[in-house]
Amino acid sequence: MNFIKLEALGNDYVYVNAEEVKGCDLVKLARKVSNRRFGVGSDGLIIVQKLTNSTITMTMFNADGSEGAMCGNGVRGAVFFALKNLGLATKTVKVITKSREVIVNAHFDNLSDVSRFTTIRATADMGKVKSSINPSIIAEELAKVGLYVDKRQVLHVDVGNPHLVFFEPNYPLSTICLAVIRSGLFPDGVNVERVYKIKNISENQSKLFMEVSERGTGKTLSCGSGAVASAYAFSVYSYRPLDGNLNVDVTTEGGTLNVTFEGCKAFLTGEVNEVFEGVFNHSEFMVSSNEI
Q: Is residue 218 part of a domain?
A: yes
Are 272 and 122 within 8 A, CB to CB?
yes
Q: Are 144 and 259 found together in one domain?
A: yes
| Residues 6 or more apart in contact with residue 22 via CB below 8 angstroms | none
CATH number at residue 167: 3.10.310.10
In tens, the pLDDT along 232-259 reads 999 999 988 887 778 999 999 999 999 9
114 and 149, same domain (yes or no): no
Asked whether residue 101 carries a pLDDT value surpassing 50, the answer given is: yes
Pair 118, 36 in one domain? yes
Domain contains 174 = yes
Position 289 in a domain:
no
Whether residue 10 is found in the same domain as residue 80: yes
Give yes or no: residues 98 and 36 share one domain.
Answer: yes
Residues 167 and 93 in one domain: no
Distance CA 88, CA 18 (A): 15
Percent of the chain scored above 70 by pLDDT?
Answer: 98
Residue 292 domain-assigned (yes or no): no
**Residues 112, 140: one domain?**
no
Taking residue 273's Cβ as centre, other Cβ atoms within 10 Å add up to: 17
Residue 287 lies in a domain: no
Q: Are residues 88 and 167 in the same domain?
A: no
With a cut of 60, say whether residue 70 has pLDDT above it: yes
Q: Give pLDDT, residue 292.
A: 45
Helix 72-85 and helix 224-237: axis angle, to 10°?
A: 140
In this predicted structure, which of 35-44, 65-74, 104-113 has the lowest mean pLDDT?
104-113
Q: If phi over 0 gives left and psi between -120 and 50 gives alpha, with beta otherwise, what is residue 227?
A: alpha
Q: Mention every residue, 6+ apart, whose C-beta is less than 8 A from residue 125.
A: 102, 103, 104, 105, 265, 267
Question: Is residue 94 a contact partner of residue 56, using CB atoms and an 8 Å limit?
Answer: yes
pLDDT digits (tens, 9 = 90+) for 134-179: 999 999 999 999 999 999 999 999 999 999 999 999 999 999 999 9
Q: How many CB atoms lie within 10 A of CB 109?
A: 7
Both 172 and 80 in a single domain? no
- For residue 11, give Cα distances in angstroms to 19, 178, 291: 24, 22, 34
The domain containing residue 10 runs over which residues?
2-123+272-279
Together in a domain, 177 and 217: yes
> Letter for the amino acid at 34?
S
DSSP 19: G
Residues, the chain: 292
Q: Is residue 107 part of a domain?
A: yes
Tell me, yes or no, whether 86 lies in a domain: yes
What's the pLDDT score for residue 113?
A: 87
Residues 76 and 16 in one domain: yes
Tell me how many domains the chain contains. 2
Q: Is residue 188 part of a domain?
A: yes
- What's 24's DSSP letter? B
Handedness of CA 57, 272, 103, 238 (dihedral sign): positive
21 in the same domain as 113: yes
pLDDT at 288: 64
